[in-house]
Amino acid sequence: MSQGRFITFEGGEGVGKSTQIRRLAARLGATGREVVATREPGGSPGAEAIRDLLVKGAVDRWSPVTETLLMYAARRDHIERVIRPALARGAWVVCDRFADSTRAYQGAAGGTDPGLIAAMETYVLEEIRPDLTLIFDMAPEAGLARAADRTHAETRFESKGAAFHARLREAFLGIAAAEPGRCAVIDADQGLEAVEAQVWTTVEGRLAVHG
């Protein structure tokens, strides 16, 4: 069976990932391949049910370790039911957040032991790793202002405070610096068309899009 490609989008709050995922999925689809656009936490019915527990309610509803376990329960269901089957049939999977969000939110910013997160990656992800990760970077104040403009109930992580969001940005940039072969930093503080162009140039440059 042919093997697809797995692209993940990462970054802090309000950095504009979802619009750009739709645009990238449309461009990849226009090359004739099957594209699966999905998100975490969520992306399968079971994982979406777990998402509701995670993103709604009081900011201290879960400890960082409990959050890590819930994120990984959702991720495992998403992998088993959506991501692995799609890659196995040759589809390109474009996912809004994946394991780097757990490293950044629950690990670096939340204080969960990186050893626990590394063990989760080994035993829960198994062979599923992104071929390319686009890290959307912008000042957290700007992203949080954009996120606050949206009317939605999923505010638990947005409420975590300025220091948390500053640590997040550093964590994502640290992941990009540590794994430059997999990751690329996208300057998200530009107009939609400029960000779209940067995303497309990066994807074309890193993966055999037209092959």
**Contacts with ligand TMP, residue ranges (CB under 6 A):** 13, 39-41, 55, 71, 96-97, 101-102, 105-106, 157
**Residue 28 region by backbone torsions, left for phi larger than 0, else alpha for psi between -120 and 50, else beta:** alpha
Q: Minimum CB separation from ligand TMP for residue 55, in Å?
A: 5
User: What is the enclosing helix (H) or strand (E) of 124?
Assistant: none
The answer to whether 127 touches 71, Cβ cutoff 8 Å, is no
Q: In sequence order, which residues have a C-beta less than 8 Å from that of residue 189 and are 6 or more positions away?
A: 137, 138, 139, 142
CB of 124 or CB of 209, closer to ligand TMP: 124
Q: How far is the CB of 96 from ligand TMP (least distance, A)?
A: 6
Q: In what order do the strands lie in the sheet with 183-187?
A: 35-39, 92-96, 5-11, 132-137, 183-187
Least distance (Å) from ligand TMP to the CB of residue 147?
8
Q: Between 19 and 201, whose beta carbon lies closer to ligand TMP?
A: 19
Given the complex with ligand TMP, which of 4 and 16 has the nearer CB atom?
16
Q: How far is the CB of 106 from ligand TMP (least distance, A)?
A: 6
